[in-house]
Amino acid sequence: MKFTKSTLIASSVIVSAALMSGCSSDDTDKSNIRIIHASADAPAVDIKLNDAVAAPGLDYPQSTGFVSINAGTYDVAVDAIVPGGNLEGVITVDGITFAKDQRYTVVAIDDTDNIVEFIAEESAATPAADEVAVSVLHAATSVEGINVDVYVTAPGANIIGTEPNFSFDFKGQVDAGALPVGEYQIRVVAGGDTANPAYDSGTVDLTGFGGEKLLILAVNTVNSTTREASPVKLVAYTDTAQVELIDTRTKAGARVVHLSPDAGAVEVFASSDALGSASPAEIIDSFAYTDTDPVDGISYSYVPAGDYIFDVAAANGGIGNSVFTSPSLPLSVATEYTVIAAGYVSAGSPAFDLLPTVDSNRSIVTQASVKVVHGAPLAQTVDVFVTPAGDFTKEEVESGAAGAPLLDDFTFGTITDYVPVPPGDYDIRVVTDGGAGTAAINIEGYNLAAGSVSTVIAREPVSPPSSSDASLNGFGVVVLSNQ
């Protein structure tokens, strides 16, 4: 992985200098403050200074970048953004003094149950034009309690039998000093196992950062695909931007759902330069209607990142008898995808196709996250109701007594964004527009647990209906989850 100045991504949070300053006078003594969200299971937060929202919607692992504020004493509060309204004051620190002409980095650190503020120190070194000053903070609860060794070497250097540059545990911070600009490799070793580092950055290129200071945090990886490579990743912060440095062994994650009612059992092939001489490869050898691969509906198959073309053939038919060839689909490193095979192979509309969607599986303990997919063309346009369990009967939903649906006029192939909801039990009803308000799908008391991320896919009956009256019977859902 190359890390160059051009790969830096600006923080998506833009902090208003007017809100932060509290005074517009140009001659006021100034201090500089940067806030970093480093709690992997915590929701996005609003940061308040003296009860005014200074940084709205700061999410993991974002930074505000340095912002100039009036020097002085502040009460700082962090409000968690949760479904139904903010939880105020999850962190409160009164009377923090920010001195004139100083730079402060405040990190929200630890898991939600123990989240606290941490004042991170910049490197004390003053880098020359051909140097970069680096400070490193261990903020990864995934390896809390394990003293880890950190090796910073030239790319490809053998670290077996060598001494680490430094060692630290959770909330430990090390000033690595001023390093010559150039290419480096960073490896994190647990339990002294230098042959199998817990984290490997690959090549990190610092050439474009001469004269600057970097704060590097080790934080948790947050989905199964990144955790497969390493429990941690590094995030490097400059004064104004940030970049994530994932383990170089990280792949893309994909899971597939068979929701084409008339396709029968199929096999699936993948063709990609990323597979090298193994392309094309049979990735699923026998796949029946409503099956998922992997079968648990939770995990993913890990494949090299790249552009893929998928072929679908009848089981044992071989790629030469493919009935469907997809367009090229890019699968990005560290990203997880659900690919839904839907539509009809033999006849009818819509024709067989693949519906890909990007999954975001970070577990946030204050909410359940739900994405809904319409994969049942026979149901046509529907309304989707998701209500707390027991609030409304099926008949009340059908009669309109439940009010407006969560999703109105929901058509085949539509995939929603994630909807955050309070954890709990819910009734899910899919009501047909053309069926006089009839609930084709009625699921009662479905639990959406804290931290869960679910993809709910409406599907057609397992057996084709024999009449129009039966067409509203046998519809169901496939639920995929991160838990």
Residues 184 and 218 occupy one common structural domain: yes
Separation CA 251–CA 244 (nearest Å): 15
Residues 63 and 168 occupy one common structural domain: yes
- pLDDT given for residue 230 in this prediction: 98
Q: Is residue 157 over pLDDT 70?
A: yes
Phi-psi region at 316: left, alpha or beta (left = phi > 0; alpha = psi -120 to 50): left
Residues 354 and 369 occupy one common structural domain: no
Provide the mean pLDDT of the chain. 91
Which sign, positive or negative, has the C-alpha torsion 354, 276, 301, 229? Answer: negative
Q: Which domain holds residue 153?
A: 5-245
| Cα atoms in the Cβ-side hemisphere of radius 13 Å centred on 170 | 15
Residues 334 and 374 occupy one common structural domain: no
**Model confidence over 258-280: pLDDT tens digits?**
999 999 999 999 999 999 999 99
Contacts of 21 by beta carbon, 8 Å cutoff, 6+ apart: 28, 68, 69, 70
Q: Is residue 467 over pLDDT 70?
A: no
Residue 341 CB burial class (10 angstroms; 0-12, 13-18, ≥19): buried
Residues 403 and 429 occupy one common structural domain: yes
User: Where does a domain end: 359, 382, 410?
Assistant: 359
**Model confidence over 345-363: pLDDT tens digits?**
987 789 999 999 999 999 9
Residue range 321-341: mean pLDDT, rounded: 97
**Model confidence over 381-402: pLDDT tens digits?**
999 999 999 999 999 999 999 9
Residue carrying the six token digits 């009010």: 403
| SS3 sequence of 407-445 | EEEECCCCECCCEEECCEEEEEEEEECCCCCEEEEEEEE
Number of structural domains in the chain: 3
Q: Is residue 183 over pLDDT 90?
A: yes
Residue range 46-66: mean pLDDT, rounded: 94
Residues 75 and 89 occupy one common structural domain: yes
Q: What percent of the chain has pLDDT over 90?
A: 84
Residues 24 and 172 occupy one common structural domain: yes
pTM for this predicted structure: 0.92
- pLDDT given for residue 347 in this prediction: 72
CATH number reported for the structural domain that contains residue 327 in this entry:
2.60.40
- pLDDT given for residue 62 in this prediction: 96
Question: What helix, strand, coil percent values describe the chain, rounded to 5?
Answer: 10, 50, 45
Residues 162 and 14 occupy one common structural domain: yes
- pLDDT given for residue 375 in this prediction: 96
User: Where does a domain end: 245, 277, 295?
Assistant: 245
User: Where does a domain end: 245, 270, 304?
Assistant: 245
- Residue 67, beta-bridge partner list: 33
Name the band, by pLDDT with cuts 50, 70 and 90, for residue 5.
very low
Residue range 95-111: mean pLDDT, rounded: 94
Residues 352 and 371 occupy one common structural domain: no
Residues 171 and 299 occupy one common structural domain: no
3 state DSSP class of 251 = coil
Taking Cα atoms as reference points, which of 412, 417, 439 lies closest to residue 428? 439
Residues 269 and 297 occupy one common structural domain: yes
- pLDDT given for residue 462 in this prediction: 81
The total of other beta-carbon atoms located within 10 Å of residue 23's CB is 12
Q: Is residue 14 over pLDDT 70?
A: no
Q: Is residue 110 over pLDDT 60?
A: yes
Phi-psi region at 148: left, alpha or beta (left = phi > 0; alpha = psi -120 to 50): beta
Separation CA 141–CA 384 (nearest Å): 38
Contact 106, 33 (CB under 8 A): yes
The total of other beta-carbon atoms located within 10 Å of residue 282's CB is 14
Residue 408 CB burial class (10 angstroms; 0-12, 13-18, ≥19): exposed
Q: Is residue 380 over pLDDT 70?
A: yes
- pLDDT given for residue 213 in this prediction: 97
Residues 237 and 257 occupy one common structural domain: no
Q: Is residue 9 over pLDDT 60?
A: no
